[in-house]
Every structure is written in C-alpha cells, then in structure tokens.
Amino acid sequence: MNTFSLAKFFSVGIVLYVFAFLINNYLTFAGDWPGAFSITNDLNIYSISQFSLYLIVILFPIYIVFLYKQSFFKFSSHVINTFCFFIYPDT
C-alpha cells in the first residue's frame, strides 16, 4: 500500500467515523439505545447494530481504496457532482 492509498483510506475513514459517531450518539441519547460498546453487558439487536456501524467504518474505506485504485478522483468527483445537482437542480 503506497502513501496515496493510505491517504485515501484515512480521508474516507475519518469522514465515515465522524458520521458513525454522530449517528451513534443520536441513537444512544435521543433514542435510548444501549450504546455500541455495551455489547459485553447484554447482547441485543440495538447494541449489535450500533457496533456494526463502527465495523462498516473500518471495512468500507478498505473496499473503496482497493476497488477504485486509479479512478478514485473520477468517482469522488462524480459523487460530489451528483450531490450538488441534488441540492441545486437548476444549475
């Protein structure tokens, strides 16, 4: 793994980690879910789903880095362009 792939992994991973953290906090405090790391106390579907959010955060950047080796910028620019067109459809 070269430096460019490592930078892609960390950049995508950090953004996904922030979103997972925010979703996890919302579910824990506003939704009264038990929390992601209470999986050791009691095993239920809520703690498993919150814990799986963090597993996705680890696995998805690896998938992105190895799937889009050379065309990562083309892929990310397409995603950003689609998102901007969704926000501002008249431009």
Tens digit of pLDDT for each residue in 15-69?
889 999 999 999 989 988 887 776 667 778 888 888 899 999 999 888 888 877 6
Q: What range defines the domain where residue 80 resides? A: 3-87
What are the helix and strand counts (H, E) for the chain?
3, 0
Residue 65: what residue type? V
- The predicted model scores a pTM of 0.67
Tell me what pLDDT residue 39 has.
Answer: 60
Q: How far apart are the first and last CA of the chain?
A: 39
Give the chain's domain count: 1
Q: How far is CA 47 from CA 32, 44, 76, in A?
A: 11, 6, 32
How far apart are alpha carbons 51 and 34 in whole angstroms? 11
